[in-house]
């Protein structure tokens, strides 16, 4: 089954388009997990326990796992999420050429261990840098299309000889690269007008819309323009996983209050987004 078919099933089961970002910043973990063998894995396990009924997907960011213990924690996290029937989208923003690209794509290989179901990729080096990912027909490939960080406009807003902006060209290319029906787009939520414009350019590609949480993105626009035939993801990371980050919850030996707050935040975001579905 292709990733977007599995995602559609999960969205229907959970009645949710919420993607929960699993970014276990070691400096922000509650005391209750710090003595574990793998604190990041223990943290993620409890977040998953608290949020899985509200999650369409989990999105760990590779930057928080790039050390030996981190990769172990990531593998355990992927396996545990799968045990809850929730797909995993690895936010890695890969994009390189030749052997390097093929090696990066191994994270999608189910025979190599617990494998992600989808990945984010950077299109700056062109199609050949993404080909190893695109060839994984049953896996999702989310191409960075339009980001909402202030510096994104340094390149993305450049006007090409064709008259289109660079990000618009990337969006069109993503559509061309979608021969296996496994391509999505990452489109930031902080500019609703651009979300609408990009949806008009590519009516059939699901979006991953980050920024509806701590970054203050527009929830209504994220749902209205982010979904294609009901399929897409709206991500919140810090707004969910650190929702219980007050002093008392952090120091609670059991961690119950901290993780209960994450579950409540995930439920509230689901309900907020579902108003517009």
Q: Which residues are catalytic?
A: 93
Q: Rounded CA gap, 202 and 171, in Å?
A: 7
Would you say 237 and 245 are in contact if contact means Cβ atoms under 8 Å apart?
no
- In total, the chain counts a number of residues equal to 277
Smallest CA-to-CA distance from 81 within 47, 104, 112, 113 is with 47
Q: Give kind and range of the element (H or E) at residue 92.
A: strand 89-94
Closest CA to 60 of 100, 87, 29: 87
Segment holding 19, helix H or strand E: strand 18-22
CA atoms within 13 A on the CB side of 262: 31
Q: What are phi and psi of 92, to 5 degrees?
A: -120, -20
């Amino acid at each position: 089954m292709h990733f977007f078919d599995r995602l559609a099933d999960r969205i229907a089961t959970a009645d949710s388009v919420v993607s929960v970002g699993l970014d276990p910043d070691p400096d922000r973990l509650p005391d209750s997990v710090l003595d574990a063998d793998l604190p990041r894995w223990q943290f993620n396990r409890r977040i998953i326990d608290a949020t899985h009924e509200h999650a369409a997907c989990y999105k760990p960011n590779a930057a928080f796992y790039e050390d030996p213990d981190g990769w172990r924690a990531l593998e355990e996290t992927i396996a545990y999420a799968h045990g809850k029937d929730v797909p995993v989208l690895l936010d890695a923003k890969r994009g390189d050429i030749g052997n390097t690209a093929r090696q990066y794509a191994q994270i999608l290989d189910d025979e190599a261990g617990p494998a992600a179901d989808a990945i984010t990729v950077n299109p700056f080096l062109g199609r050949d840098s993404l080909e190893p990912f695109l060839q994984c027909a049953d896996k999702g490939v989310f191409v960075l299309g339009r980001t909402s960080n202030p510096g994104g406009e340094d390149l993305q807003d450049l006007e090409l000889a064709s008259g289109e902006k660079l990000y618009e060209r990337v969006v069109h290319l993503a559509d061309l690269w979608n021969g296996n029906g496994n391509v999505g787009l990452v489109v930031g939520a902080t500019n609703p007008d651009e979300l609408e414009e990009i949806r008009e350019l590519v009516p059939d590609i699901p979006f991953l819309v980050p920024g509806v949480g701590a970054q203050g993105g527009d929830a209504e626009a994220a749902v209205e323009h982010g979904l294609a035939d009901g399929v897409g993801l709206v991500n919140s990371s810090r707004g969910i996983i650190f929702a219980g980050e007050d002093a008392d919850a952090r120091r609670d030996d059991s961690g119950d209050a901290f993780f209960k707050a994450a579950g409540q935040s995930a439920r509230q975001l689901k309900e907020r987004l579902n108003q517009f579905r």
